[in-house]
Amino acid sequence: MQNDTVKPIQKSERIHYLDILRGIAIFFIYSANILFFSGIWFFPKEKITYTLPTDEIFAFVNYVLVDGKFYSIFSILFGIGCYIQYNNLTSNNKAFAPFFRKRMFWLLLFGLIHMFLFWPGDILTLYAFLGFFLIWFVKKSNKTLLITACILILFPLVNWAFMHFSGIYYPGIAFQKSTEVYQHFGMPVIKFGEHLQPNILAFLENNNVGDFFKMSLGNGFVRIGMILDEARVFKVFGIFLIGLWVGRKILNNNLLENTSFLKKVFVIGLIVGLPINIVRGYIEIYTENSDTLHLFHILAYALGTVPLALSYSAGIALWAKKGTKCLNWFAPVGKTALSNYLFQTFISIIIFYGIGFNLTGKFGFTYLMIICLVIFAMQIIFSKIWLSYFKFGPMEWLWRKLTYGINFKLKK
């Protein structure tokens, strides 16, 4: 009788490079997210207590080299992971779609809890939502994947044109809902132009746990509005498709051993992506906003972010092939990426928010990068120790248990 039980990928089948890349992405995603957690985006410069002359330099470098690139890498990894799971199941005559829908259902639940109760910058909800549609593409040709990906990555230009020329600002529905939630619970709002919006400063400084959750509900709708405004749904899904293509090439064409191809991706991605991101960074930080510059910003994001993310990925693959030991430090974090991503939220709430140590708005950019580095170093140490006793991260174990329906042991 055939065994229909779907089993997780075994340790021996894991690709070490992907764990390294995932761990690096988790670090740099946090270096971007900590800017919100810390309140640096919302406090006037003169009110920030601990500043250094290097703050502006670090801010510019972070925006040029980090912003958007590592969530793009994480999106590529999501697509790669999807194809690896598809290949694992179909090679053992198992149905992929039911399994992956169940996997995305639980990730969506985790994401919704995270987004509406703790962190409005959550990426899990969007990934899980798009994961349901990714199922339709796992069998598509390489040509279809890449053409569709290019169209979707450029689609934010269409989104901008529609809103600009029609005058229909549909993300406003989500932003209005966030304000209504705040008002319903009697939470503070502020006037922005002709509209009311949630008072994020009050949210960060609030020291009442009950009010924190009430405001977090409203902040979740702010996140939805931002996703719609940026047309991030299309960008992320396009990058997912690139990830599917990469996953197929890794498994079927030994892509990670193709040094010549990796060098081309690294060089071309750098030549194309870096200059565009430098211009984008200058526009964002040193110029006044306007419709023309906003359009260029969208175009620069589309044409610069993904090439640079691909360049980073290829460069790290080439570096890993040399057997550089320091890269192995990132692998334990990569193996427990979901747990570490969520841990970053909770440790940041404790450090910065009013319900914690209330250090919001106290640190300039340089100090924040040091704090980020210290927290991530702790995650490396904790992840390594944890994996010496347990097979999976705590959230990875729970996700696998719910998805596979198998009572496998957490301890080694």
Q: What is the pLDDT of residue 6?
A: 53
Is residue 315 within 8 Å of residue 21, measured between CB atoms? no
Say what the pTM is: 0.94
Q: What one-character-per-residue DSSP string does 54-111 give?
A: THHHHHHHHHHHTTTHHHHHHHHHHHHHHHHHHHHHHTTT--HHHHHHHHHHHHHHHH
Encode pLDDT of 230-289 as tens digits.
999 999 999 999 999 999 999 999 999 999 999 999 999 999 999 999 998 888 888 777
Q: Where are the domains of the chain?
A: 11-404
Residues 323, 301: Cα–Cα separation, whole Å: 33
Q: What is the pLDDT of residue 96?
A: 96
DSSP 43: S
**Range among 187-201, 218-232, 395-409 rated most confident:** 218-232
223 pLDDT exceeds 80?
Answer: yes
Q: What is the pLDDT of residue 11?
A: 47
Mean pLDDT rounded to a whole number for the chain: 93
Is residue 19 within 8 Å of residue 393, measured between CB atoms? no
Is residue 297 within 8 Å of residue 284, measured between CB atoms? yes
Three-state SS sequence of 127-195: HHHHHHHHHHHCCCCHHHHHHHHHHHHHHHHHHHHHHHHHCCCCCHHHHHHHHHHHHHCCCCEEEECCE
Q: What is the pLDDT of residue 261?
A: 97
Residues 53, 299: Cα–Cα separation, whole Å: 32
